[in-house]
Amino acid sequence: MNERKSRFSSLSGLEIERVYGPEHLKGWTVEQDLGRPGSFPYTRGIYPDMYRSRLWTMRQFAGFGSADDTNRRFKYLLTQGQTGLSVAFDLPTLMGLDADDPMARGEVGHCGVAISSLADMERLFDGIPLDQVTTSMTINGPAAVLFAMYLAVADKRGIPFDRLGGTIQNDILKEYIAQKEWLFPPEPHLAIIVDTIDYCTAHVPKWHPISISGYHIREAGSTAVQELAFTLYDGLTYVDAAVKSGIDVDAFAPRLSFFFNVHNDFFEEIAKFRAARRLWAREMEHRYHPKNPRSLQLRCHAQTAGCSLTAQQPMNNVVRTTLQALAAVLGGTQSLHTNSMDETLALPTEEAVTLALRTQQVIASESETVNCVDPLGGSYLVESLTNRLEEGARDYFRTLDRMGGMVTAIEQGFPQREILDASQRYQKEIEHQERPIVGVTDYVEQEARSIPTLKIGPEVEQEQVARLSDLRKSRDPFKMAGSLEELQETAACHQKLMPALIEAVKAKATLGEICAALKEVYGTYREPVVL
């Protein structure tokens, strides 16, 4: 028979044979490797009934312009049936800079919302009942500061911390690996993360203090295996740091959550979610012997792959996103963000974000794919892919163990180089016509189809700068300076940071001032050159 290609392979380069059967699952057993949903090793899902009892959380990442702009978008999304909030911050905020910092010029409010002070955070959540929604905040370098602002808002409104639910991303290792938004060197950053874990365990028990993220690793060009391996190994690094600081593994491990990308390869992506759960359960069991089974369960959020979207024929992106979203659902995710078709061009318009949300709602309400738990369990192909992804990740685990852990590996540029090499291979496959992209390499249209995009005007920056200037004039400078001194002393003595941070934000110290004060204590990070 003449096949179209001499070799068929998954998006990550795993060879795919013509047909799969029992001969591909030698050594694999239902008892050891598949299990039942809600039971070890959780291949089939962390709950016995999955979407039969509760659908995934539909959580659209949103944030642009000023706090007031984003507050309006949040309220709109809640009226449209969204079930959780997710804040996107602008780049200055992500880098711990105020809107009036010279480096922030031209970037304020562009890739997310600008939050420089407690007052901004209050406006962001104005009229939103913090004890009735869950809030996810995509923030890493300055995560503890933004979290302190959120807690201070709740405190001002008289909401007890134990009624707050949500997540801070707070995953610095993937910043060094892929996203490149850090403030300090790894050691103090890890200490701050352990501190937030410790604080949540004691005071904000429903909060997820960290969302260990593969999303950005994949967006940087990694394969599915690399995404799985580096993300889970990052997770183990955090667990290790927390356990070494004296926190009992069962006190925090049930609150860890993960965040994965869902790319184009339908079956490989489904297998990735299944492999992630099994690998995490096995490694946690093997390395830390937790007593609470919830410490073994990998909970996750998923987002469709931004890097798979094309600027050409943008409406095709709706179709890509639909397939990716379906893969995440069949993979058993706990929450999901579907990208809007215009996100490769700009932040999404209200129409585009509504369509993206409707995509999830159609899958949930109309496709009848949610009736049965792990519907692809037992598929020879999917089980084989699950095995191969787990094995590939384990190979990386061994290498990383040998290198002395993730921090050393990052300092040597190892994960960065692996990802860059993978990205280059993929780029070459596209250029050699081995991976067609509809509308880009194939079925190209000469006439560009444009869609409306969201524009952020310069007034956002001007207004934000003006607000900061007012804030700096109106606050008590001695109280503010005192709170920063207290914070520096706390940091220098390796004391618990969160209470001092909450005091500093209440004293109206800005994000940039707080981060600058901490940099004086902790120093800054310079990345290894990987080219």
The residue ranges that bind another protein (CB under 8 A) are 91-92, 94-95, 97, 102-107, 110-111, 175, 179-181, 185, 219-221, 310-312, 344-346, 412, 420, 423-424, 427, 431, 437, 440, 448, 450, 453, 456, 523, 526-527, 529-531
Helix (H, G, I), strand (E, B) or coil at 41: coil
Residue in this structure with the two tokens 């207290």, named with its chain if needed: 486
The answer to whether 286 and 198 are in contact (CB under 8 A) is no
Task: Choose between 147 and 176: whose C-beta lies nearer to another protein.
Answer: 176
Task: Choose between 26 and 432: whose C-beta lies nearer to another protein.
Answer: 432
Phi, psi of 163 (to 5 degrees): -105, 5
Beta pairing partners, 258: 212, 300
Closest distance of CB 71 from another protein, Å: 20
Sheet of 335-337, strands arranged across: 57-58, 335-337, 300-304, 257-262, 211-213
> Can you say whether the dihedral through the CA atoms of 508, 514, 516, 521 is positive or negative?
positive
Whole-number CA gyration radius for the chain: 23
Task: Choose between 11 and 94: whose C-beta lies nearer to another protein.
Answer: 94
How far is residue 212 from each of residues 139, 258, 433, 456, measured CA to CA in Å? 12, 5, 34, 30
Task: Choose between 55 and 99: whose C-beta lies nearer to another protein.
Answer: 99
The answer to whether 206 and 163 are in contact (CB under 8 A) is yes
Cα(133)–Cα(487) distance, rounded to whole angstroms? 30
Task: Choose between 179 and 360: whose C-beta lies nearer to another protein.
Answer: 179
Q: Are strands 300-304 and 335-337 parallel, antiparallel or unpaired?
A: parallel
Task: Choose between 245 and 450: whose C-beta lies nearer to another protein.
Answer: 450
453 Cβ contact list (under 8 Å, min separation 6): 342, 345, 346, 349
Closest distance of CB 166 from another protein, Å: 25
Q: Cβ atoms within 10 A of the Cβ of 516, count?
A: 17
- Nearest to 358, CA basis, from 51, 80, 86, 85: 80
Amino acid at 278: R
Task: Choose between 52 and 105: whose C-beta lies nearer to another protein.
Answer: 105
Residue 163 has which token pair?
A: 């009624």
Closest distance of CB 450 from another protein, Å: 6
The answer to whether 105 and 134 are in contact (CB under 8 A) is no
Closest distance of CB 531 from another protein, Å: 5
Closest distance of CB 242 from another protein, Å: 24
Closest distance of CB 106 from another protein, Å: 3
Closest distance of CB 440 from another protein, Å: 5
Cα(384)–Cα(21) distance, rounded to whole angstroms? 9
Task: Choose between 323 and 437: whose C-beta lies nearer to another protein.
Answer: 437
Cα(476)–Cα(504) distance, rounded to whole angstroms? 12
Q: Cβ atoms within 10 A of the Cβ of 44, count?
A: 24
Q: Cβ atoms within 10 A of the Cβ of 398, count?
A: 9
**Start-end of H helices in 3-112:** 67-79, 91-94
Closest distance of CB 449 from another protein, Å: 11
Closest distance of CB 185 from another protein, Å: 8
Q: Cβ atoms within 10 A of the Cβ of 129, count?
A: 9
Closest distance of CB 258 from another protein, Å: 21
Closest distance of CB 260 from another protein, Å: 18
Closest distance of CB 128 from another protein, Å: 26
What's the angle, vertex CA 355, arms to CA 269 and CA 263, rounded to 5?
Answer: 15
